[in-house]
Structure 1
């Protein structure tokens, strides 16, 4: 059959069938039949299957060459020879770490970090702060007479506090409560602004079960059914066993809310006491204010948490509290990440707290001795970096000092015993013989027999 008479195949499959038909007309081979097991066919079968698969893939004409060229040009140096393959090309960024390029980096980091740390430490030292521990006031403070508590006070002021006096006493309040009165001296004017915190220690608000023990839908104002609350993460403080009603708010966080009532300081210097007014407005984050909404519960549908004693186990007489307006509650519900923490209780953003003697009354309700904790009040100002916290400044100074020290040590070592960069005599695969140029360059004929 001539070339003109050969029919044109419509596809690769047609070509394969045509080749198969021509193969049937060829004389049979005289070679013996294959003795391979069906589990181990002839290698030619693999080649035939691979060739057919290749032809089928190429039928779609993927631009593999163009894609490969683009990938190589992106990740490798475009200035390489066009005849080189991607494996022969080098990355465009090839930093060579030499002593002259690395050693200055140590000194640069040290010179930058050390002054920054010094500024942070200085800013932290400008914060005026007074901390008074009143953990044992109910148990140790005398009634109606004052006792010295200088060993329970920590003060940070520019003015001297050597002559400052610190006392406490306790008295009976309403509903059989105990009022702890703290007397302290401010040696210089503070603020504004002036912030009043309460500080707790050894209280693990970051415990996983404690952090999860709340119902967000309930806080958002939804009247969540009792059946849903009983199976929620608020357990075991989800519903009241006696009445079967849901706690509002439910969970461990709300039940353990800090309930010491802290009043505003009263200036005693002068003829008449002057109240230094501090407000609770603005102590919570805006995000927390947006989260907590007015509840849709009715007073008879829910009960207060067990530790909320002021409601006597029911909201029917007092009404449900407006938690969406209670910023103390919002501050407490934002759990702390460490077991020792401070939470904002009051603030004054407009008026300075003048120097003089003050009295601060606290209704002492929150127990801390059961878990070996402590509680304190903290009066503080702030700077551009916030409250008093020298840790960040110390960290910057330490890092800067370590970098300068390492830079100096490496510089001395480089000057005393410098190492030649790229010296081929350091390259050897034979530890018994001295390295040679041929061995280091890889041109030594290792297959050549050695001399006797």
Structure 2
């Protein structure tokens, strides 16, 4: 008996060839069901009407909501130079921008006071300029009342400016001089082998005017002046505040204030009595560090969420340090209320009105065109490959006239 087993078949030993053909599934073979809308006059024209009917009223409501906001903006750019030193003087109307419902009589006045001393922390800075603004509030402003400073022609969106900060330093980490110099803070990273804290162009250019709370000069319920308190808390986003922490290190010998900050510290250095600021609590600094996308912007300085700003005359003092004339810019204070849609801004409402009006105009145009000269749906003679040239055009005698003749190309459907 033969014990040898028969050889394995060739089919069993031969390796199967790998196939690159996709699997025969609906997804792989692109047989999935899909919605293929057919844009006909019966669907397009009503759609444009619906969009226009929705957008136009929304735009009107946005403009109405913006019109309910009461706002006063006063440009004090040249107060340090043009305002008188003796007495208050009326400001030019081109510097005052009121927005109230019934009465826009502001009677804004200004005055500058030179050689003023002001204390930052425990350090007193001498020979400063103070600008005093006096104005009238013609209508009661319900809380919340917000106080902004507005800058024009200040480009916080410059590429190098936006990147000039060190996130680890702002987060309070104990970073070395080499770390700061290797960060994006250049060209304001260090000086004399000491790191700037905080470093970078954004921190150095922080808005350093000191705006005092308005003082109510003629309150009806009191014989003296009343200060309308504007608090400087809750003006920054909570998510932004989490990015800024106080310094972990207590060593002050290896850091310096930025150049524009040094006037506020004795001999331009940090000391135990005048330590670096706690950036987590300095919400004015946090608001400034969120850079604006446009050269004209407003940033929140203070707010009052509890009491209304009553009708009357107010005075406001500002320590004028931030000189915008150096870069041909302007600065203003803005006192405003809010509506259900936010602050005063007509752009969004106008945009919705324009879109709604444009859609309604297109719908009317398509409707009239469809009524005057309707077009048969599914007419293949309108296809480019079915348009045969006329005999005149074929002979080169000019533009073809008359109806075109459908050509049998094999692409037309039976």
Is structure 2 residue 396 aligned with structure 1 residue 430? no
Partner of residue 342, structure 2: 386
Contact (CA 8 Å) 2:172, 2:245: kept in 1 or not?
Answer: yes
Structure 1 residues 425 and 232, CA gap change in structure 2 (3 angstroms): closer
Conserved in 1, the CA contact under 8 Å of 2:388 and 2:405?
A: no
Superposition pairs of residues 273-284 of structure 1, within 5 angstroms: 273-284=225-236
Residue 439 of structure 1, CA deviation: 2.8
Report the secondary structure of 1:360's partner residue: strand
1:272 Cα offset (Å): 1.2
- Are the counterparts in 2 of residues 141 and 147 from structure 1 also a CA contact under 8 Å? yes
Mapped to 2, the partners of 1:442 and 1:207 lie a distance apart of: 56
Report the counterpart of residue 42 of structure 1 in structure 2. none
**Is the CA contact 2:103–2:139 (under 8 Å) kept in the aligned structure 1?**
no
Q: Secondary structure at the match of 2:26?
A: helix
TM-score (ref. length: structure 1): 0.79
**Does residue 259 in structure 1 map to residue 214 in structure 2?**
no
Q: How does 1:84-99 map to 2 (within 5 A)?
A: 92-99=34-41
Distance 1:209 1:403 in 2: 42
Whole-Å separation in 1 of the counterparts to 2:357 and 2:294: 29
Shift of 1:320: 1.9
Q: Secondary structure at the match of 2:408?
A: helix
CA deviation string 1:227-247 (max 9, x = no partner)? 12122211111111xx31111
1:46-61 paired onto structure 2 within 5 Å: 55-57=16-18
The residue aligned with 1:144 is 86
1:439 to 394, 408, 414: 408
Q: Is residue 2:240 matched to residue 1:288?
A: yes
Distance in 2 of aligned mates of 1:442 and 1:123: 57
How do 1:110-121 residues align onto structure 2 when only pairs under 5 Å count?
110-121=52-63
Q: For 1:245, which of 194, 197, 204 is the aligned residue?
A: 194
Native 8 Å contact 1:424 1:440 kept in 2: no
Q: Does the Cα contact within 8 Å between 1:425 and 1:440 map onto a contact in 2?
A: no
- In structure 1, the partner of 2:264 is 310
Task: Quote the Cα distance in structure 1 between the aligned partners of 2:404 and 2:80.
Answer: 83
User: Tell me, which stretches of 5 or more residues in structure 2 are unaligned?
Assistant: 118-125, 392-402
> C-alpha displacement at 1:12, in angstroms?
4.0
**Residues 69-111 of structure 1: per-residue CA shift (max 9 Å, x gap):** 333687345xxxxxxxxxxxxxx42322211111111111100
Pair 1:9–1:134, CA change in 2 (3 A): same
SS at match of 1:295: coil
The total of aligned residue pairs comes to 380
Q: Would you tell me which structure has more helix in proportion to its own residues? A: 1
Q: 1:139 to 1:442 in 2, by over 3 A?
A: closer
Q: Report the alpha carbon displacement of residue 325 of structure 1 after superposing the two structures with TM.
A: 1.1
Name the CA distance, whole Å, in 1 between partners of 2:168 and 2:407.
78
Partner secondary structure for residue 69 of structure 1 = coil
**As a proportion of its length, which structure holds more strand?**
2
| Residue of structure 2 in register with 1:125 after alignment | 67
Look up the match of 2:121: none
Distance 1:386 1:437, change over 3 A: closer
Q: Which moved more, 1:228-237 or 1:377-386?
A: 228-237
Secondary structure, counterpart of 1:401 in structure 2: helix
Flag the structure with larger Rg.
Answer: 1
Contact map agreement 2:26 2:32 (CA 8 A) in 1: no
Q: 268-277 or 98-107: which moved more? A: 268-277
